Amino acid sequence: MKKIFATLVLSALMALPLSAQVKFGLKGGLNVTDMSLSSEVFDASNRTGFFIGPTVKVSLPLTGLAIDGSLLYDFRSAKVDNELNETKTIKQQQLAIPINLRYGVGLGSVASVFLFAGPQVGFNVGETDFNWKDTSNYSLKKSNFSVNVGMGVSLLTHLQLTANYNIACGKTADATLKNVGETLTDKEVHTRANAWQIALAYYF
């Protein structure tokens, strides 16, 4: 999947016409982790995180169409309780690379609104294994693939405010509740960490 993503990004960059308008900027925002896992074994509570990094926007000659891409440090967390009522805060640190295709409609010379969607690949750069003493463990994947869907508004050609949902494609981590005495047997579940995101970007 990562090789396919890299090939698509390279092909898109090579296909950009010379008349395309390119703007560079800085993007940052907040995310709220929406973890999906088996509630019979683990229970998760949403937690707030953040992301920040450089971004680029390429406006295409076709009216309203553009492509944007970013390299973001993305921090997410969630409080997870296992079947034994033990609590652990899972912290995911990753380099996220979202690439979005967007279509916008101008609202005069001051503002425009747009819809966007596209793939994102993430590479974990922080801790990947979390343990509840000897009873449970939670292991993050080294990389993950997801899709963004959202909308935004551009103001005064420099400012951009967006809101989107980041949807995990495939599992984000493996979680295991280990055997404790004779009361429990080993239980393993696969988890997905989706996120609601709000971002502000400034283009120079």
Distance CA 10, CA 169 (A): 21
pLDDT of residue 80: 84
pLDDT of residue 181: 57
Report which DSSP code applies to 128.
Answer: -
pLDDT of residue 29: 97
Distance CA 36, CA 80 (A): 11
pLDDT of residue 3: 58
pLDDT of residue 38: 60
pLDDT of residue 4: 55
pLDDT of residue 69: 97
pLDDT of residue 52: 98
pLDDT of residue 54: 98
Contact indicator for 160, 198 with CB cutoff of 8 Å: no
Q: Report residue 6: phi and psi, to 5°.
A: -65, -40
Strand partners, 56: 24, 69
Q: Which amino acid is at 33?
A: T
156-195 residues labelled b (16+ CB within 10 A) or e (exposed): eeeebebebebebeebbbebbbbeeeeeeeebebebbbbb
Mean pLDDT by 10 residues, the chain (204 residues): 53 53 96 74 78 95 90 92 81 96 87 96 93 83 96 93 95 78 66 92 96
pLDDT of residue 14: 53
**pTM of the predicted protein model:** 0.82
- Structure-token match 């309203």, residue found: 64
